[in-house]
Amino acid sequence: MNNTVICPGSFDPVTLGHVDIIKRASKMFDKVIVAVLVNMSKTPSFTIDERIGFLKKAVGDIENVEIVGFSGLLADYAKERGAKAVVKGLRAMSDFEYEFQMALTNKKLNPELDTVFLTTDSQYMYLSSSMVKQIASLGGDISYFVPACIHEQVFERLKITETRKDLSK
């Protein structure tokens, strides 16, 4: 039986929440394709090659995980790769509404494709790439939120390089 799944996302940057979902999926399925999206509606902080590199550092040692970049429709890509399901992590009800809509759309486009939702570990429920970017841009400590192996690269790219000015004067 083919137990190949796709775990898609922008991973801009990859967080410990992403790593948690990928590791858990790798224990449940024979093969996990981590698909880094090219999302035309977003301007990423990191190139697709950088994001793929971050993921390879963070989870590339997991034998049944493959990390790739892709653009286009996920439903078509899943069919092309022989994946039977999409794995998505959920943090809150707001995630569910969007992901449920995407799951139904993908099912319409590819009737053989199911979506598996994994609830995030409670320690990552509030965590998002956007939050990481905001904290880093203000010079905050992101070591609690991103894998140690990519921390420095992520922080250096995202931090504001200008000297902060006291605006109360």
Beta bridge partners of 33: 6, 66
User: Which member of 10, 26, 45, 129 is catalytic?
Assistant: 129
Query: CA-to-CA distance for 94 and 72, rounded, in angstroms?
Result: 25
Would you call 129 a catalytic residue per the annotation?
A: yes
- What is the phi/psi pair of residue 20, to 5°? -60, -50
Task: Spell out the residues 6+ positions from residue 128 whose beta carbon is closer than 8 angstroms to its own.
Answer: 15, 17, 91
What are the residue ranges of helices labelled H in the chain? 16-28, 48-59, 74-81, 93-109, 129-137, 151-158
Closest alpha carbon to 66 in 5, 137, 134:
5
Would you call 168 a catalytic residue per the annotation?
A: no
User: Which member of 79, 91, 151, 159 is catalytic?
Assistant: 91
Would you call 108 a catalytic residue per the annotation?
A: no
Query: CA-to-CA distance for 59 and 20, rounded, in angstroms?
Result: 10
79 in helix, strand or coil?
A: helix
User: Which member of 10, 18, 31, 45 is catalytic?
Assistant: 18
Catalytic residues, which ones?
18, 42, 91, 129
